[in-house]
Amino acid sequence: MKTAIAHWALPQFERLEQSSPERFEAILAALREVRPDLFGELTLMAAEHGEISHEEAGELLGSPSTDVEQLLTDYREVMTEVTQRRLIELDARGVARIAGKHVTVWEVVREYRRVDSVSGMNEAFPGLSELELRAALVYAGRNPDEIGGQIRAYEEILERSKAAYPYAK
């Protein structure tokens, strides 16, 4: 149902803002009163995307503009966690993977270390979006021991295979 609402509602809000700004402002005021958390999130989202200034965000939130940067930092952290939870999942063995894909986080990190850029990983992972790749890197940054251990285990297996079969490529 959310997609259906977004499909028709967003263009109507834009029309309402153009045709009857006072009614649109009334909707925003009602949102601010009934759900200040959502109003705050929308305000920070607008500031994050450069649609309003820090000063405007501060006015809307009733906070000094000097506090807006910390609010944005907190917002970014929460959004990163939400995105990561949606894009990274643990498989049955507890290995972190890109959600719905067979690619593990440690494979993404290992390739990133090799090419040293997210854009350089497109060749190795053509089916993954930049957002998925970045979510994997964020997960690895928050779980360095887990991911580092998985990379070390893989590289140990690789070294044993090379030692056992020195002429294999």
User: Per-residue pLDDT tens for 113-140?
Assistant: 999 888 888 889 999 887 788 889 888 9
CA distance to 45, 53, 56, per residue, from 50 (Å): 9, 7, 11
Among 26-35, 107-116, 130-139, name the one with the lowest average pLDDT: 130-139
C-alpha to C-alpha distance for 74 and 70, rounded to whole angstroms:
6
Whole-model pTM over 0.75: no
3-state secondary structure of 96: strand
Closest Cα to residue 31, out of 46, 22, 42, 18?
42
Question: Does position 74 have pLDDT exceeding 70, yes or no?
Answer: yes
Residue among 33, 29, 28, 3 at smallest CA distance from 13:
28
* pLDDT reported for residue 22: 95
Q: Would the pLDDT of 163 be above 80?
A: yes
pLDDT interval class at 25 (50, 70, 90): very high
Residue 103 in this model has a pLDDT that exceeds 90: yes
Reference 38, options 48, 47, 28; nearest CA is: 28
CATH architecture of 91-164: Orthogonal Bundle (1.10)
Contact call for residues 32 and 39 (beta carbons, < 8 A): yes
pLDDT bin (cut points 50, 70, 90) of residue 169 is low
Instruction: List the chain domain ranges.
Output: 12-83, 91-164
Which of 40-44, 90-94, 121-125 has maximum average pLDDT? 90-94
